[in-house]
Amino acid sequence: MAVLIDLVLLSMLAITALRVIFLKDLFAVVMLFGIYSLLSALIFVNLDAVDVAFTEAAVGAGISTVLMLSTLALTGRTEKENKRSSVLPLLVVIATGAALIYGTLDMPPFGAADNPIHQHVAPRYIEESPKEVGLPNLVTSVLASYRGFDTFGETVVVFSAMVGVLSLLGAARRRENSDDAAVIVAGFKGHKVLRVVAKLIIPLIILFALYVQFHGDFGPGGGFQAGVIAAAAFILYALVFSLSHAMQVVSPKFLQLLASLGVLLYASVGIYSMLKGGHFLDYNKLAADPLVGQHFGILIIELGVGIAVFAVMLSIFYAFAHQVERSTIK
């Protein structure tokens, strides 16, 4: 049964991907990408990888659609005709592909039960983590505790993505004279139903994000997903009530502060555990009982991740949307 569902989903995924390649209308491409990420999230669900599906749902279908659309608003909607011959790129791609396939020949067979990863790493996590970390959700134990360094690195990468976008597009500033902003606002003022429904649903989205943040230890979820969902709520507000309104609720400056605060919060847990005589991010030293220490450590670093991701996502959206507004006004 699960295999059948997988096959159907995968073939739908392949058809969507093929259609995306041959479409010239980039708007249609963005729409199909939305479907693509919905499909891949469904495959993750079907494979029982709930946390990954969660992330894909929030990031792939939500934030990336919004960001790609704002990029389209900046760049234009049709793909440029490529006049150059595609023989050389094709050759390069074929050569690289062949090299990669040759490389996989040495790898252990895909999905076989006697692969090294199923011999040492996975069983250890499954058997020892309830004793060592003590969280019901194994994925969170691995991500936040065993792989705490990686997750810290990822958070820093997300942060530097924000720095990159802001330095390319310019940081959005709160506009003082709201005359030109009024032009934009007028466009969506007509959507009364949308405004009322958004008003009703935004608080629920934010609360749901906070629920995801604090229940990452028990079920699917955690800081990353929570940050993205919360950012999506504010993006909805910005889309419906205009960017300048959103910037008055959460200012870009405050977001930049929050983003660095999130990363620092994560790092400070590491440094604190070093001061306590452990290694960097050694949660066992945070409290007298190692399990309690683990629990506290994970809670705080997840909070750091959540804050950082939220602030970064929203800042990037602000930067794009601000640029779009500026380019349409002039």
Partner 1 sequence: MHLGLWVVVLSLFWLLLSGYMQPMLLSFGAISVLLVVLVIKRMANVDQELKQVDFRLSIFRYLPWLLKEIMSSSFHVTKLIWSSPKDLSPTLAKISLKNIPKEKRVLYANSITLTPGTLSLDINKHEITVHALEAASVDELNEGAMERKIAGLWPKKGEEK
Partner 2 sequence: MTAVLAAVCIAILVIMALALTRAMKAPTVYDRILGVNMFGTKTVLFIAVVGYLMGRPEFLDIAIVYALINFIGMVAVLRYFEYTAPID
Partner 3 sequence: MLVLDIVSSILLMTGIFFGFSGAVGLFRFPDFFTRVHAASITDSIAVILIIAGLLLQTSFDLNTAKLMFILMFLMITSPTASHALAKSARHGGLLTLGESKQQQKQQKEQMQQQEAGQ
Residues that bind partner 3 (CB under 8 A): 190-191, 193-194, 197, 200-201, 204
Rg (CA), the chain: 23
Answer with the entry of partner 2, partner 1, partner 3, none that 286 interacts with (C-beta below 5 to 8 A by kind). none
Residue type, 175: R
Residue 198: CB minimum distance to partner 3, A: 8
Window 20-39: residues binding partner 2 (CB under 8 A): 25, 27-28, 31-32, 34-35, 38
Cβ 228 vs Cβ 57: under 8 Å: no
Q: Distance between CA 16 and CA 33 in Å, rounded? A: 8
Question: Does position 62 bind partner 2 by CB under 8 A?
Answer: yes
Q: Which residue has the tokens 């490389």?
A: 103
Of 90 and 201, CB closest to partner 2: 201
Q: Distance between CA 174 and CA 64 in Å, rounded? A: 24
Residue span 189-228 as binding mask against partner 2, x where in contact by CB under 8 A, dash where not? --x--x---x--x--xx--x---x------xxx---x---
C-alpha neighbours within 13 Å on the C-beta side of residue 175: 17
**Best CA proximity match to 239, nearest among 93, 61, 34, 63:** 63
Question: Does position 14 bind partner 2 by CB under 8 A?
Answer: no
Window 131-190: residues binding partner 1 (CB under 8 A): 190
Answer with the entry of partner 3, partner 1, partner 2, none that 49 interacts with (C-beta below 5 to 8 A by kind). none
Cβ 273 vs Cβ 286: under 8 Å: yes
In three-state secondary structure terms, 25 is: strand
Cβ 77 vs Cβ 27: under 8 Å: yes
- The H or E element containing residue 70 is helix 64-75
Window 92-121: residues binding partner 2 (CB under 8 A): none
**CA separation, residue 217 to residues 71, 139, 255, 301, 306 (Å):** 36, 9, 26, 12, 14
Residue span 225-254 as binding mask against partner 2, x where in contact by CB under 8 A, dash where not? x---x--xx-xx--xx--------------
Window 243-272: residues binding partner 1 (CB under 8 A): 245, 248-249
Residue type, 214: F
Window 189-228: residues binding partner 1 (CB under 8 A): 190, 192-193, 195-197, 199-200, 202-204, 206-208, 210-211, 214-215, 218
Strand partners, 78: 25
Interface residues with partner 2 (CB under 8 A) are 1-2, 4-5, 8-9, 12, 15-16, 19, 25, 27-28, 31-32, 34-35, 38, 41-42, 45-46, 48, 50, 53-54, 57-58, 61-62, 65-66, 69-70, 72-73, 77-78, 184, 187-188, 191, 194, 198, 201, 204-205, 208, 212, 219-221, 225, 229, 232-233, 235-236, 239-240, 324, 328
